[in-house]
Structure 1
Amino acid sequence: MSFVVDGMINFLDILFNLTSLVGLPYYGVAIILFTIIIKIILFPLTYKQTASMRKMMELTPMITDIQKKYAKDKVKANQKVMELYAKEKANPYMGCLPLLIQMPILWAFYKALMIFPYGNEASAMFLGFNLTVKYGFTPDYHLILPIAAGLSTYLMSKTTSSSTVSASQPESAKQTQKIMLIVMPFFLAYITASVPSGLGIYIITMNIVSAIQTLYINNHLEKQSKAKSA
């Protein structure tokens, strides 16, 4: 993993040098660009993950019916569910696999930012934030960073949950999603306040790009679904 982190640090430096050429010598800009690039590279996996989750959501009512029909025969129920997956070309693990692939990459970038050797103080400044400083919840201008992290997390969570919530879901699952929708923004706001602000820029950018990608994917899948049913 260390060589991946080192590679990301080097690439972040390259981006900084490139942005400096166009009059933007700020590591904050490089962090935003790098985050966007990572999300673009991971987009095919994100698409597959979202599509798989939507597919499983659509199959939920049928799976529930099978489980009720064969409530006394678990083996038969599992067999019928697997047959349904095969018929509908659905993979219950596909929703998790892309996430498992993405997480090490995103974690490596997180680690790279944690140890990144910023140049002079001027280049580490961005929008009034020193990217190496932890500002906490100081009641001043810098409080905008954790607030933005919380709001962007809510936006990202809301767009994601809209593609995974189904009327046929168990009530417990719906309640869990509602709780996470409330808890995660506060959690990410706390994390943002507790780490160097450069990581806060990364978190906010990641949330915004993720929300945009999810909206695009949902719209694209919706059009595909309508085209098939037409």
Structure 2
Amino acid sequence: MDFLANIVQQVLTVLYNFTESVGIPNLGLAIVLMTIIIKLIMYPLTQKQIQSTKAMMEIQPKMKALQEKYKDDKQRLNMELANLYKSEGVNPLAGCLPLLIQMPIMIGIFYGIRDYNYAAHPEIVTSFLWLADISKADPTYVLPVLSALTTFIQTKQTMPANGGGAQNKMMMYFMPLFIGYISLTFPAGLVLYWVVMNIMQIAQQSIMNRAAAK
């Protein structure tokens, strides 16, 4: 992960130098720019993962019905599940590869932003909007609240019309609260990345939902 974290830090430095060259040197702005670039690059993978996850959630009631019906016949259950996937046009493994590719990148981004050498820059460069220093946690709690709220909206968007079952509903509320809680202690720059990424994800999901409704 050190290798990926170093790349993230180098990219962040390049983007900071860019903001400096246009007369607005700011690390917070550099993080926003980097988030947008990363999201655009990962758009196809994210789209594939979202589509696969939503499709699996939509057929969960049917899967549970089969599991209950054939709970004593594993071989028949596997055959019926395979038939269900085929009839619904769902590949249960389709969402795994995009996620496996994204996970190391996301971890590298996490450590890269968290451990960035903010102290090497003057104080004015590490301030952003209401934040006096993005290397420290947000004392106003605005970013942690935004991280929880945007995570909730993003999670709710991927829920199928049938709700996706009790477990999915529980996760829809638990994950935002967990993200908001851990954001209280993370550097504001890292939480800023998460919030901007979520906002772009929400926009992407909205576009996909509108396209699917046509």
Under TM normalisation by the shorter chain, which class is it?
Answer: 0.7 to 0.9
Answer yes or no: is 1:157 the counterpart of 2:148: no
Pair 1:76–1:115, CA change in 2 (3 A): same
Calculate the TM-score normalised by the size of structure 1: 0.80
Could you say what secondary structure the match of 2:124 adopts? coil
Contact 1:160 1:211 in 2 (8 A): no
Amino acid aligned to 2:208: I
Residues 22-33 of structure 1: pairs in structure 2 closer than 5 A: 22-33=22-33
Identify the residue that residue 101 of structure 1 maps to in structure 2.
101
The Cα offsets for residues 99-148 of structure 1, whole Å up to 9 and x where unpaired, read as 2221211111010011111222111111131011224xx5xxx2322222
Query: Counterparts of 2:150 and 2:56 in 1: how far apart (Å)?
Result: 27
Query: Counterparts of 2:177 and 2:58 in 1: how far apart (Å)?
Result: 31
Calculate the TM-score normalised by the size of structure 2: 0.85
Name the stretch that deviates more: 181-190 or 197-206. Answer: 181-190
Amino acid aligned to 1:21: S
Q: Give the % identical residues.
A: 37
Query: Counterparts of 1:157 and 1:145 in 2: how far apart (Å)?
Result: 18
Query: Counterparts of 2:97 and 2:14 in 1: how far apart (Å)?
Result: 31
Answer yes or no: is 1:183 the counterpart of 2:174: yes
Identify the residue that residue 203 of structure 2 maps to in structure 1.
212
Could you say what secondary structure the match of 1:194 adopts? coil
Contact 1:85 1:91 in 2 (8 A): yes
Pair 1:10–1:165, CA change in 2 (3 A): same
Alignment gaps of 5+ in structure 1: 224-230
Contact 1:57 1:165 in 2 (8 A): no
Amino acid aligned to 2:34: F
Contact 2:154 2:202 in 1 (8 A): yes
Query: Counterparts of 1:6 and 1:214 in 2: how far apart (Å)?
Result: 30
Identify the residue that residue 10 of structure 1 maps to in structure 2.
10
Could you say what secondary structure the match of 1:122 adopts? helix
Identify the residue that residue 75 of structure 1 maps to in structure 2.
75
Identify the residue that residue 48 of structure 2 maps to in structure 1.
48
Identify the residue that residue 143 of structure 2 maps to in structure 1.
145
Amino acid aligned to 1:190: Y
Identify the residue that residue 162 of structure 2 maps to in structure 1.
166
Amino acid aligned to 1:37: I
Contact 2:54 2:158 in 1 (8 A): no
Identify the residue that residue 91 of structure 1 maps to in structure 2.
91
Pair 1:151–1:4, CA change in 2 (3 A): same
Amino acid aligned to 2:129: L
Could you say what secondary structure the match of 1:201 adopts? helix
Two-structure CA RMSD over aligned residues (Å): 2.4
Aligned residues: 211
Identify the residue that residue 122 of structure 1 maps to in structure 2.
124
Report the alpha carbon displacement of residue 165 of structure 1 after superposing the two structures with TM: 5.1
Alignment gaps of 5+ in structure 2: none
The Cα offsets for residues 173-223 of structure 1, whole Å up to 9 and x where unpaired, read as x33333323232322222222011111211211221121112222222333
